[in-house]
């Protein structure tokens, strides 16, 4: 989902794109769990920067298959860090604000201690730790609840937007109101990541759109933007039981970017408005 916006933020000649499954001719095959392959690709391409987006992102699958989660998110990250360290390449690792325990009222900053409560978040945090311990020239950027993908958007925003259209004129939707986070447009995330990685200020950063919301709040905003007269029922997370527990709060603040005068992130509502305009245009 996030990788598709790389071409919005970088010129084609600046990019060497890889993925584990590759159907497109301009995307090269790379499984980050395979150390030899990772060493070969980094050693051959010798990029200035690796933007490490690859992960097992299915939170419930991670809970059910911890070995798979740690192989993808920890071992894969270690392989990239070893290769980047060997060839003196900068590395930007995309992590998650889901690494926190979720019991804090105010948004988490980079100075709060992580306390992951599910396997996905634990594996992403171990990815952070191994990268930071193996190389000084790395950026760790924790994203919020990411949205994006347009036609292929099968995540929360895409599903709600589609339900709004399918059930018009008066959809009845249900959305969880007891968990909060920082909705983040994947394209904004990458644009801000570019600013950060060009600053040379290595280290750990929160990188989210401004503000916080529940899924219910996001669904209400989606309906408002699409000008659909939806009734969005606020429900507890027990209504949608899932294998992995989600923290009560994944809300984050870009505190270090603010301190450095580098924060370019707009509010999540502005970002969502622009995203849904594009989503609608692609549907038309
Ligand atoms: N989505 C969110 O809300 C969110 C929030 C915070 C942080 N993040 C982080 O942001 C990054 C991008 O997330 P996303 O939502 O854009 O994820 P995504 O759409 O699931 O993309 C992840 C990509 O990594 C690939 N991949 C999986 N295992 C791999 C391996 N061993 N080697 C190479 N590629 C592999 C996946 O391929 P397959 O699809 O074929 O498995 C997929 O193309 C991830 O690191 C994620 O942890 C996401």
Q: Measured in angstroms, how far is the CA atom of residue 99 from the centroid of ligand 1?
A: 16
Ligand 1 contact, 76 CB (< 6 A):
yes
- Scanning the chain, the segments in alpha helix (DSSP H) are 6-9, 35-45, 59-64, 66-70, 76-87, 119-134, 156-166, 186-197, 215-225, 255-259, 268-283
**DSSP letter assigned to residue 14:** G
Q: What is the pLDDT of residue 201?
A: 98
Q: What pLDDT is attached to residue 152?
A: 87
- What pLDDT, on the 0 to 100 scale, is given for residue 24? 78
Specify the pTM.
Answer: 0.97
pLDDT at residue 35, rounded to an integer: 98
Residue 127, burial from CB neighbour count under 10 angstroms (0-12, 13-18, 19+) = buried
Q: Ligand 1 within 6 A of 90 CB? A: no
pLDDT of residue 23: 78
How many Å lie between the centroid of ligand 1 and the Cα of residue 52?
Answer: 9
Q: Is the CB of 34 under 6 A from ligand 1?
A: no
Please give the structure tokens belonging to residue 118: 């599910």
* Tens of pLDDT, residues 12-70: 999 999 999 877 788 999 999 999 999 999 999 999 999 999 999 999 999 999 999 99
What residues in the chain have per-residue pLDDT under 70? Answer: none
| Cα 86 to the center of its chain, rounded Å | 27
- Domain span at residue 161 reads 3-283
> Hey, whose CA ends up nearest to atom 23 of ligand 1?
54
Residues 6+ apart with CB under 8 A from 193: 51, 92, 94, 139, 141, 207
Q: Domain of 192: which CATH number?
A: 3.40.50.720
What's the pLDDT score for residue 219?
Answer: 98
Q: How many distinct structural domains can be found in the chain?
A: 1
């Amino acid at each position: 989902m996030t990788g598709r916006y790389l071409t919005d933020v970088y010129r084609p000649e600046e990019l060497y794109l890889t993925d584990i499954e590759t159907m497109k001719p301009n995307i090269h095959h790379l499984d980050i769990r395979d150390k030899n392959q990772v060493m070969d690709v980094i050693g051959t391409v010798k990029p200035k920067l690796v933007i490490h987006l690859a992960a097992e992102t299915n939170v419930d699958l991670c809970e059910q298959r911890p070995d798979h989660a740690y192989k993808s998110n920890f071992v894969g990250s270690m392989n990239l860090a070893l290769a980047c360290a060997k060839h003196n390449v900068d590395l930007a690792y995309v992590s998650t604000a889901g690494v926190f325990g979720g019991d804090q009222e105010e948004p988490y900053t980079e100075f709060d201690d992580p306390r992951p409560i599910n396997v996905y978040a634990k594996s992403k945090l171990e990815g952070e730790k191994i990268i930071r311990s193996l190389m000084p020239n790395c950026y760790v950027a924790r994203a919020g609840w990411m949205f994006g993908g347009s036609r292929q958007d099968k995540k929360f925003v895409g599903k709600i937007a589609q339900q709004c259209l399918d059930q018009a004129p008066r959809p009845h939707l249900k959305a969880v109101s007891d968990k909060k986070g920082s909705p983040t447009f994947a394209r904004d995330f990458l644009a801000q990541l570019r600013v950060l990685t060009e600053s040379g200020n290595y280290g750990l950063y929160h990188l989210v759109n401004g503000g916080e919301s529940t899924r219910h709040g996001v669904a209400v905003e989606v309906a408002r933007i699409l000008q659909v007269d939806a009734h969005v029922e606020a429900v507890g997370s027990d209504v949608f039981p899932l294998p992995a527990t989600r923290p009560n709060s994944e809300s984050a603040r870009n505190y270090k970017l603010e301190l450095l005068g580098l924060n370019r992130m707009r509010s999540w509502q502005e970002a969502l408005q622009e995203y849904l305009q594009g989503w609608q245009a692609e549907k038309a």
